[in-house]
Amino acid sequence: MSEKLVKQMDVFFNPRSIAIVGASRKVNKAGHVIFKNFVINKQRNVFKGELYPVNPHEEQILGFKCYPSINKIPGEVDLAVIVIPARHVPEVMREAAEKHVKVIVIITAGFGEIGNHALEKEIAQIAKKAGMRVLGPNCLGVYDSGTGIDMLFLPETKILATGEEVVATPRPLPGKLAIVTQSGAFGASALDYLTGRQMGVSKFVSFGNKCDVNEAEMLYYLLHDKKTKVILLYVEEISNGREFIRIAKEVTKVKPIVALKSGRTEAGARAAASHTGAIAGSDQIYNAAFARAGVIRAKNMEEFFDQGKALAMQPPAEGKNIAVVTDAGGPGIMAVDECEINGLTVKKFSDELVGKFEQLKKDGKIPKFATNLNPVDLTGSARSEMFEIAVKILFEAPEVNGIIVLGLHHTPELQGDFVDKVASVAHSYTKPIVACDIGETEMALYVRSRFEKFGIPAYGSPEDAAKAMYALVEYGDYLKKNSCFEQYVEMFLKEKE
Amino acid sequence: MSEKLVKQMDVFFNPRSIAIVGASRKVNKAGHVIFKNFVINKQRNVFKGELYPVNPHEEQILGFKCYPSINKIPGEVDLAVIVIPARHVPEVMREAAEKHVKVIVIITAGFGEIGNHALEKEIAQIAKKAGMRVLGPNCLGVYDSGTGIDMLFLPETKILATGEEVVATPRPLPGKLAIVTQSGAFGASALDYLTGRQMGVSKFVSFGNKCDVNEAEMLYYLLHDKKTKVILLYVEEISNGREFIRIAKEVTKVKPIVALKSGRTEAGARAAASHTGAIAGSDQIYNAAFARAGVIRAKNMEEFFDQGKALAMQPPAEGKNIAVVTDAGGPGIMAVDECEINGLTVKKFSDELVGKFEQLKKDGKIPKFATNLNPVDLTGSARSEMFEIAVKILFEAPEVNGIIVLGLHHTPELQGDFVDKVASVAHSYTKPIVACDIGETEMALYVRSRFEKFGIPAYGSPEDAAKAMYALVEYGDYLKKNSCFEQYVEMFLKEKE
């Protein structure tokens, strides 16, 4: 891997000119949706490159002069997006090669995934011979809000039977998370999920059958992408395990990777095989590979997003001993259980630390009946200042490596400003903190979104908060073992400023 | 357990007269919030009983004549809610005994949970001697939207620093789920969660320290409550295991119980002990007890609510073999994985069943490239009619015991009416079906809520859908082993009409 690769990959996200082969005037066609995405982004001056529709049957599309083939385009073409039936793809590839197109995205399906291996091999060979790099086939391509690249053929809105227009596949705001996905459908879901949860995306890549560009190369590129802080990787199989481990190892010293690898069970692997035609391989092998490469493996979809969010917002933990501070006994226990089940510890506080809380009780600063052995349970009488002072003591305690704050807003005396108070304390420390408030109505949504405004990831259940903390601990452990903990934290803090 | 017990317990939910001891004019006091709840519900004619505020320092509260003690109330008092400092509770209990009050709810904290065991014993003895039944102390009491009983001292709204009034502890709509909780804080969270997720509640009971009425008695009462279809039970410890198993066994033959038992780990048990003063006991013992009693044990908060919803909406499964039908390969694999991890099977379809799908391909009714070995992957070309016909075939197939339909709405050709089509097929069968659509923006929320409007529980991730199906399989298995499967399904269908 080299600088050359980074430059090659960068063309997918930052082309000076782009041809849409299969651009169409027919609104239901993928070639229409994709071309229109670019037209709009060009009009808004987000996409700044040249744009060429290619379609032999049209003169003009949406006001743009249309070309019968890539060859006939007057200027240079950096990137070609192909959305025409599979059987015509090789011909277009040859024309692209003549035109010295640099990179190609084949959206079209109907290759290896349905048994057409020969056709897929053919296009790979044409590309290789010409030195062109290919993403796909059978993929959603690339989305980059920064440069206006939007190859998603999934319509942003749909019309319901009631006549209402609703958001169907939203494009998320710019942010720190890169999405790299083998499944286009899951990728679209991820965009929908992240948008709704107010999480931003730096880059989105759906690589489909990966006849050429694979996940390892994309990871290497994202390592060098300044906008990406955390990489979320969805895969069903990894074809070149050794290369993947080697590259991922390099990446994870600088940026966390969270992986969701499906096909964990035999039946799941069988389903994966019939989906992509690939052999999933033993799940234990993947566990071992991810562990070696410092990749955090999420067990399910929610963990995947939750852990990505934690790593984007908080520094890693220096150790695995967690303190829980709560105003709700039951949910406190639930958080402790989930920490311990995931291999973290929630140890009884040292006498010294307990002493500090006892002093607070004597001073009337926390309730006399608060428990303080870990969890610290401020009880239903908790007020904002109590959370503030308790969290401060835990940040100062060397025995505590991470803090879970369960601020259930329902208690009568707790006001919304407890979030601001906790966040203002947290601001001065590099120890990770995650928050939870339970509920799905106004105040709960306010509390969680306000925590996140201050950079503290917030979750809707104690267990989700604990699993997010687990990711911060696991990543910290990996960084320490590879002697790059301090370096990472330093960079993390610098970028946060 | 007997008819007498049911009548006794019913007074908590359906009293003819109620005294609020500690009713107050001061808006920040629990005694004010609770009294006002009843005043409002009485004005709205939801609470139809007599209402008496008790407070020696006031003449009138909110227009109601105030009494210096329970003794001085002219009419009979069925239920007394006590919200005064712990040390005065025994005296009030003695007065209540003289007045022949039937049942008492002690909201007040400061008893066994902080080491005041003698005080708790004292009140229990007063009650026993007088034949009064007591809920609490240290609890949130009862909420019943049907009879206007609302003892929650947690304010329905709060005011943010911005001056905005927001919903803080919402009261859910009437529904099929009963909440029985040891933790008041978790109970309040549950109300908030269920309201936001549009799930209704039949009855809510927070029993706190359970100095008298325990969870087994409450379960027995709910067994006879016509509005309750599913019981959600949160506990940290169960004091009388044998009685619990005996009663729960009786209940679960007629109504499912989903339990969330925290304190699963050693550290969690330690936290529970410092919370309620109770010994949690080995987690394996609880597993065994729940299994014997047919209680479904949720592993975390989300499963708890998700499984409760599934059991309230769908009949149990007759076996554990599940079919997955999807328009998204990746999420299909994720659902299969989660099914198998939970002990369900997603077996390859029989030749006969595969043949039916092959015929559909030949007839052009589903895409040629659809896979049909289980999952059925209709691919991104899926249309509403394809889901309809695929689901119908799976409902008809004897080898399939339950269906997970993953209808990811992002694909271009799938319109919102696929939900209506699937639901209309499902209506004719007694095989359980659960749905999933991923996303947190408009169309995803529409799809999920529309599924639920038709009685098909819908989830935001494939794994959550699989775990919900697991509950339907586990409960079906239990019912079959106890020869009451058919009886339950018959009743379920009758009530659904």
- Residue numbers in A near B24 (CB within 8 A): none
Yes or no, beta carbons of B438 and A196 under 8 Å apart = no
Q: Is A204 on the interface with B (CB under 8 A)?
A: no
Of A28, A166, A371, the CB nearest to B274: A371
Q: CB A60: neighbour CB atoms within 10 A? A: 10
Q: Is A137 on the interface with B (CB under 8 A)?
A: no
pLDDT: is B75 or B28 the higher one? B75
Domain boundary among B310, B332, B352: B310
Task: Return the number of CB contacts < 8 Å for A and B.
Answer: 293
Q: For residues A463-486, give the mean pLDDT.
A: 98
Pairing of strands A201-206, A230-235: unpaired
Domain boundary among A274, A294, A310: A310
pLDDT at position B496, please? 79
CA distance A261 to B330: 10
pLDDT tier for residue A277 given thresholds of 50, 70 and 90: low
Q: For residues A60-78, give the mean pLDDT.
A: 96
Mean pLDDT estimate for chain B? 95
Structural domain for A477, as ranges: 315-496
Continuous H helices in A44-183: 89-98, 117-130
Q: For residues B280-292, give the mean pLDDT.
A: 87
pLDDT at B273 over 90: no
pLDDT at position B280, please? 53
Q: For residues B103-112, give the mean pLDDT.
A: 96
Q: Are residues A343 and A425 in the same domain?
A: yes
Yes or no, beta carbons of B417 and A161 under 8 Å apart = yes
Q: Are residues B10 and B139 in the same domain?
A: yes
Mean pLDDT estimate for chain A? 95
The sign of the dihedral angle between the CA atoms of B310, B312, B314, B319 is positive
Buried b (16+ CB within 10 A) or exposed e, A410-442: bbbebbbbbbbbbbebbeeebbbbbbbbbbbbb
pLDDT: is A237 or A152 the higher one? A152
pLDDT at B420 over 60: yes
Total domain count, chain B: 2
Tens of pLDDT along A370-400? 999 999 999 999 999 999 999 999 999 999 9
Q: Are residues B423 and B485 in the same domain?
A: yes
Residue of A nearest to B235 (CA): A330
Q: Is A245 on the interface with B (CB under 8 A)?
A: no
Tens of pLDDT along B291-340? 999 999 999 999 999 999 999 999 999 999 999 999 999 999 999 999 99
Yes or no, beta carbons of B184 and A340 under 8 Å apart = no
Q: For residues A139-153, give the mean pLDDT.
A: 96
CA distance B324 to B394: 9
CA distance A492 to B128: 63
Tens of pLDDT along A414-433? 999 999 999 999 999 999 99
Contacts of B133 (CB under 8 A, 6+ apart): B8, B9, B11, B12, B102, B103, B104, B127, B212, B213
pLDDT at B167 over 90: yes
pLDDT at position B278, please? 55
Domain boundary among A292, A310, A328: A310
- Residue numbers in B near A304 (CB within 8 A): none
Q: Are residues A222 and A329 in the same domain?
A: no
Q: What is the CATH number of the domain that holds A415?
A: 3.40.50.261
User: pTM for this one?
Assistant: 0.96
pLDDT tier for residue A28 given thresholds of 50, 70 and 90: confident
- Residue numbers in B near A270 (CB within 8 A): 348, 373
Q: For residues A333-341, give the mean pLDDT.
A: 97
Q: Are residues A267 and A372 in the same domain?
A: no
Q: Are residues A292 and A394 in the same domain?
A: no
Of B160, B186, B345, the CB nearest to A330: B186
pLDDT at position B1, please? 61
Q: Are residues A303 and A327 in the same domain?
A: no
Q: Is A116 on the interface with B (CB under 8 A)?
A: no
Q: Are residues A301 and A440 in the same domain?
A: no
pLDDT at B279 over 70: no
Q: For residues A464-485, give the mean pLDDT.
A: 98
Q: What is the DSSP letter of A345?
A: B
ipTM passes above 0.90:
yes
User: Tokens representing B109?
Assistant: 């904290």
- Residue numbers in A near B408 (CB within 8 A): 185, 188-189
